[in-house]
């Protein structure tokens, strides 16, 4: 089939007909998705149904959050659940240091699924299942409600999209449904100051792969994302006004036995202005066992629970997680990221 490409390199997939229930649309989109992940690891998502005013609000709230004083933000400092505010790091994490890079030049605020104090997972202090750290309503009126509305809309979209992923892998449409009935989700609200484009040792976000299943980046008026193509070239991702940029991560790569790519990408804000980003990460339930899918064998990796992998990955990427007891590389799998193209 013929594929619509952005910049001649990255597929564009329009899911409007699929979301409307049109006959045959799911199968067409699944074929497009298969091509995208077997050849690039990224695609543009059009026809997603997320209202533009909601996207605009998410960006506006990111700017409003980061406009607060450092003291207000540090009152919500990020914790061992990776919830809260993370200032620009003092030293590079292992993945950046291995590339000879300085700390990534961005600050971020992380939200996860909204929980209450009497939630059993909160009471047991289960990792990555804590309550969100919200700014005071008096400081940022309406912020909490706006962000919960955005996250709820993205979660609902992702739960529909995973059916296409199943079909793309020659599995029954509902294969992933139970894993995403109540998925892990993270909203990262990032602020990128301008960096010196002539200094190769500094990046807004160093080259990396994501940890999970699906990352959705809404259209951004300030560009800065670059994607490493399979032949090693770096491509600046063009802005497409009405399309999300979507990529898979290491868990999708592992679950599919490396059939689907987890593609390195980076951010370099040399735009001359502040850049904000609000990537949404949607991953399987904490207890989902990630093992080679029946259409992707023979298996190259042993089974692992998603929650264990997520904890190991976070310890490699974030300074505040490096002291947290986490699985080791040997626990995850020898050479777990041997195929990464850094």
168 in a structural domain: yes
169 in a structural domain: yes
Instruction: Kindly list the distances between the CA atom of residue 154 and the CA atoms of 161, 186, 215, 216, 246, in Å, as whole numbers in the listed order.
Output: 10, 11, 10, 9, 12
Ranges of beta strands (E only) in 179-334 are: 184-192, 205-208, 214-217, 225-228, 234-236, 244-247, 265-267, 275-277, 280-283, 289-290, 304-305
302 in a structural domain: yes
Whole-model pTM: value is: 0.93
106 in a structural domain: yes
**214 — phi, psi (to 5°)?**
-150, 130
Q: Do 261 and 210 form a contact (C-beta atoms < 8 A)?
A: no
- DSSP secondary structure letter of residue 336: T
Longest Cα–Cα distance of the chain, Å, equals 56
CATH number of the domain within which 74 lies: 2.60.120.330
Give the angle subtended at the CA of 300 by the CAs of 298 and 304, to the nearest 5°.
Answer: 115
337 in a structural domain: no
Rounded to whole angstroms, the Cα distance separating 202 from 89 reads: 12
4: tokens are: 């619509």
Say how many domains are in the chain.
Answer: 1
340 in a structural domain: no
Q: Do 300 and 258 form a contact (C-beta atoms < 8 A)?
A: yes
75: tokens are: 């009152």
Rounded to whole angstroms, the Cα distance separating 289 from 308 reads: 10
Q: Do 261 and 230 form a contact (C-beta atoms < 8 A)?
A: yes
Rounded to whole angstroms, the Cα distance separating 129 from 112 reads: 8
**Angle of helix 52-66 relative to helix 143-168, nearest 10 degrees?**
130
Report the chain's C-alpha Rg in angstroms.
19
Secondary structure class of 14 (helix, strand, coil) = strand
Tell me the mean pLDDT per 10 residues along the chain, length 342: 94 98 98 98 98 98 98 97 94 76 92 98 95 98 98 98 98 98 97 93 92 97 96 96 97 98 97 97 97 96 94 78 61 47 26
pLDDT at site 326? 56
339 in a structural domain: no
Range(s) of the domain holding residue 181: 5-332
Q: Do 290 and 308 form a contact (C-beta atoms < 8 A)?
A: no
301 in a structural domain: yes
Among candidate residues 333, 326, 330, the one with its CA nearest the CA of residue 290? 333
């Amino acid at each position: 089939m013929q594929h619509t490409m952005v910049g001649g390199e990255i597929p564009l997939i329009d899911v409007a007909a699929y979301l409307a229930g049109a006959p045959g649309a799911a199968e067409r989109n699944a074929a497009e998705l298969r091509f995208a992940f077997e050849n690039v690891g990224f695609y543009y998502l059009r026809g997603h149904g997320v209202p533009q005013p909601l996207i605009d609000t998410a960006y506006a709230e990111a700017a409003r959050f980061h406009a607060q004083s450092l003291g207000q933000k540090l009152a919500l400092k990020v914790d061992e659940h990776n919830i809260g505010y993370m200032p620009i790091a003092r030293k590079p994490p292992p993945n950046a240091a291995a590339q000879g890079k300085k700390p990534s030049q961005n600050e971020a605020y992380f939200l996860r699924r909204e929980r209450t104090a009497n939630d059993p997972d909160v009471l047991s202090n289960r990792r990555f299942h804590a309550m969100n750290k919200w700014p005071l309503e008096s400081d940022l009126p309406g912020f909490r409600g706006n962000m919960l509305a955005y996250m709820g809309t993205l979660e609902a979209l992702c739960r529909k999209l995973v059916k296409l992923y199943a079909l793309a892998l020659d599995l029954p449409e509902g294969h992933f449904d139970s894993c995403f009935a109540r998925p892990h989700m993270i909203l990262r609200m990032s602020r990128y100051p301008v960096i010196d484009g002539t200094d190769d040792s500094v990046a807004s976000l160093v080259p990396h792969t994501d940890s999970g299943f699906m990352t959705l980046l809404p259209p951004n008026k300030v560009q800065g994302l670059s994607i490493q193509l399979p032949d090693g070239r770096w491509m600046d991702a063009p802005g497409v006004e009405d399309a999300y940029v979507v990529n898979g991560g290491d868990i999708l790569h592992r679950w599919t036995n490396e059939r689907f790519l987890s593609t390195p990408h980076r951010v370099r804000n040399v735009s001359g202005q502040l850049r904000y980003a609000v990537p949404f990460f949607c991953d399987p339930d904490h207890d989902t066992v990630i093992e080679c899918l029946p259409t992707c064998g023979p298996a190259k990796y042993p089974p692992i629970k998603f929650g264990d992998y997520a904890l190991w990955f976070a310890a490699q990427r974030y300074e505040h997680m490096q002291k947290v007891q986490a699985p080791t590389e040997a626990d995850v799998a020898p050479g777990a990221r041997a195929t990464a193209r850094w």
